[in-house]
Structures are given as C-alpha cells and as structure tokens.
Structure 1
Amino acid sequence: MKIHEEVGKLVLVSFIVSIAIVLLCWMFCDIIVINIIASLLAVYFQIFVTLFFRVPNRIVITNPNVVLSPGDGNVVAIEEVDAVEYFNDRRIRVSVFMTFFNIHINWYPISGIIKYVRYYPGEKLFAMYAKSSDKNEHSTIVIENKKGKEIMFRQIAGIIARRIICNAKEGDLCTQGAEVGLIKLGSRVDIFLPLDAKLLVQKGDLVRGQLTRIAEI
C-alpha cells in the first residue's frame, strides 16, 4: 500500500506514538483489561491513519465530454448559485463532503489548461455548511477544456483540516484524473458547472474520485 508522500512523516509519527502508548501501558499498568483496550485502540488508530492517506490504484477512463469527481465522498448538495469568483454568473454547484473514512486526495475533474488558481485563508466552519464554500480556507482552480468549456472546483478545508495542498499552476496543462493535491483531515470539494450541464449524480450519492461521472458538458 502506497502512502501519500506529503504525509509520510505524519504516518510515521502516529506509528511511533501508537507503539509508545502500548509499551507504556504494559510497563506501568497492572490492569490487563485496560492494557488490551489501549493496545486495540492504538492498532485501530494506526490503521485509520494509514488508510486515510493511502494512494488508491485506479484506472481512469478519460472523456472530454464528462466531468469526473475530484474526490471521494458523499454528494451533500446540488444547487444553482451565483459564482461571483472568476465567472460572475450563475452556475450549478455540486458539493462532495469527505468524511474521516474517505481518501482525501483530490484529482482534476477534466483535462485542459489551468486558467486560474487562487488560495484563500479563511475560517474553520463545518464543511457540510453551504457557506463554508466561501468562508472557509480554500483553493479555487479553473480549467478550460479543448472545447472552451470552463469548470471551476474548490478544495475546502473543514473544521479539523489544517492544510490544503494544491499543486495546480496557472498556464499548465492538466489531465483528467491526475492528482491536484489533498486536504489534510476532513474537507469538501465543490464543482461549479455551466447551467446547461447534464447532471449524472443526485444528492446523497456516494462518489469516487477519478471514477464517478458528475456531469456531461
């Protein structure tokens, strides 16, 4: 299993801490039940951290007419909104909430040229809230495909997330399904689609980054 290079040290530290807790319990605590519980919790915690930051091995089928999900999670909202940033028009916003059990790597939803990249420090509101899209710490990326269609998506930090990693650079070419970055410890991604896009998901759907078709454009 491959661990994301950006968090390799974090996973190693969590492993050392887990081992230390187990050793201290068995060395200084005579209550076997407590030692067993502490050991199990340490093991579960380490498994959780490892799975959280794993890099999945997925086969991406690119399609210039389709927008793929930029992240794993649950579709929590689909609504028409005023996309003031960059477009200054109306767009369909599809919001995907990533829980603690989802991989937090993000991928490009379409292929094309990266037209716009911005990072905004912000608040730490619960990522399920609609206003977190604008208020929370986030990165915004706009991609234009070969047909001239532009898609905007955001990496949004949640109440626990401490850092957004965004490797997108204006002027670069990107490939659908390639990694754009990740959000550490809880987050959400929003995709802003043109009003004439044909939606392929609905609220409540579980989606997988690189694989699930969000819309046709």
Structure 2
Amino acid sequence: MKLHKESKGTLIVAILFIAFVGAISIYYLHLWSLVIMIPLLIMLGLIFWFFRVPYRAILDHNENVVAPVDGKVVMIKEVFEDEVLKANCIQVSIFMSPLNVHICRYPVSGDVIYKKYHPGKYLVAWHEKSSTENERTTVAVKSMTNHQVVFRQIAGYVARRIVFYCNIEDKAKAGHEFGFIKFGSRMDVFLPLDTEILCKIGDKTKGGIDVIARMKD
C-alpha cells in the first residue's frame, strides 16, 4: 500500500511512542502488556489506513466538476462568496471523516489565479460558519469554460494541519492532487449560479472520479 508523503512525521512519532510504551509495559506487566499494546497497534493500523494513496484512473475533464475529495455531500446552497468572486454562487460542501482518503484534488481544469491561507478557529467541520471562521485555504481556478471556480480546504475540530502545493499560474488538472488535510475536515466548492449540479445532499463521493456538476461553456 502506497502512503502519502504527509504521513512521514506522524508515523515516526506514532511508532516511537508505541515502541516506548511497549518496552515499558512488557518490562513491568509481562503478558498483561497485551492489554495496552493491542489497542495501540490498532491505532497504528488506522494511521496507516488514513494516509493511504489509492490508485485512481483520472480522466480529462473540460466542462465537468469532479469531487475534490472522498466524503459525503453535506451542503448545496446559494451563498455570497466575498473573498474572490464577490458574487452569489452555488456552494457544494463535502465532509471527510477520519476514515476517508484525505487527498485534496482540483475540481476543475484551468489556471490557478488565486491562493491564500487563513488562520482561524477549529469549529466542527460540518458547522456552516466553519467555511469563513475556521483555519482554511482558498484557491481559485479560471476554468477551461472561462469561469472562476473557488474551493476551500477547511480544518475541523480534529484536523489541525492543512497543506496545499499549488501556486498562482500553475496548470490545474481536474482530479489531480493539490493538497492534503489531516484527520477529518471539509472541502467547499463555489460554482457559477447556472452550473448544473449533479449531486445531492447525502451522496458519497470519490475524489477525482465522481462528477458532481457540469458548467456551461
């Protein structure tokens, strides 16, 4: 199983901690150390599972908007986006549990025209205000259909590390990775009002594969 590059620091700390606790528990508790070690080894297995990088056959997309992450659609509504678009648009929000793949992918193809990191709070990721008050990043892409599409990585109550690798003037390719969020969070995508929405609240999404909307050329 391939692991994401963001796993390195977390796995080193986890393995060293488990090795230390294991050595102490074996020395003092002998066979009873299994009571401590089995849960710790299960936790280590979950960390490996969290940082997995599954193979995805990514197709080329021009008009399609693909799911930027694995997760569950929790919001589809008209909102006013005041950072980049400064206009009404459709917000599609996808919540990621700690068991989802947490690779963040471009929802559309085009050119990166904006990026910014915002420090903030750590409200639970499904809270409506988390989009504007939590720690987050904002990225905007001018799509191949000549629309501006904004998307945000949002930290949650558990997630405390957001990374994004894109830079202004980069070529965005729908479905390809641009960042990562650790341990539960949310992605918001802001689309033009005339976008055809192809998903509904409650849908489970597979990042880079599922088409969630289609923009008019």
Same fold (TM over 0.5): yes
Q: Map residues 72-87 of structure 1 onto 2, 5 A cutoff.
A: 72-87=70-85
* SS of equivalent residue, structure 1 residue 23: helix
Give the TM-score taking structure 2 as reference length.
0.94
Most deviating of 111-120 and 21-30: 21-30
Structure 1: how far apart are the matches of 2:107 and 2:145?
A: 15
CA contact (8 A) 1:197 1:216 kept: yes
In structure 2, C-alpha distance between the alignment counterparts of 1:103 and 1:147, rounded to whole Å: 29
Asked whether the 8 Å contact 2:63–2:144 carries over to 1, the reply is: no
2:37 paired residue among 6, 17, 39: 39
Stretch moving more, 11-20 or 85-94:
11-20
Relative to the length of structure 1, the TM-score reads 0.94
Residues 21, 42 of structure 1: 8 Å contact kept:
no
Pairing of 1:120-199 with structure 2 (within 5 A):
120-199=118-197
Note the residue ranges of structure 1 that are not aligned, 5 or more in a row.
Answer: none
Range with greater deviation from structure 2 (178-187 or 3-12): 3-12
Deviations 1:87-145 (A, max 9, x none): 11111111111111112110111111001111111111111101000000111111112
Q: Which amino acid aligns with 1:86?
A: V
- Please name the residue that 2:17 is paired with: 17
8 Å contact kept, 1:92–1:194? yes
Shift of 1:62: 2.0
- On the 8 A contact 2:93/2:188 being kept in 1, the answer is yes
Contact preservation (8 Å) 1:114, 1:142 = yes
RMSD between aligned residues: 1.3
Question: CA separation in 2, counterparts of 1:9 and 1:26?
Answer: 26
Aligned to 2:7: 7
Q: Which one-letter code corresponds to 1:35 in the other structure? A: S
| Identity across matched positions, percent | 35
Instruction: Give the number of aligned pairs.
Output: 215
Q: Residue 11 of structure 1: CA displacement?
A: 1.1
Shift of 1:198: 1.1
State which of 105, 108, 116 in structure 1 corresponds to 2:106: 108
SS where residue 202 of structure 2 aligns? coil
Structure 1 residue ranges, 4+ long, deviating more than 4 angstroms after superposition: none
SS of 1:5's equivalent?
coil
CA distance in 1, matches of 2:161, 2:146: 32
Asked whether 1:59 is paired with 2:57, we answer yes
CA–CA distance in structure 1, aligned partners of residues 100 and 19 of structure 2 = 25
In 2, the alpha carbon distance for the partners of 1:20 and 1:171 equals 47
- Quote the offset at 1:22 in angstroms: 2.6
Which piece of structure 1 moves more, 129-138 or 173-182?
173-182
In structure 2, the partner of 1:216 is 214
Unaligned stretches of 5+ residues in structure 2: none
Deviation at 1:161, TM superposition (A): 1.8
Q: Which amino acid aligns with 2:6?
A: E
Letter of the structure 2 residue corresponding to residue 146 of structure 1: M
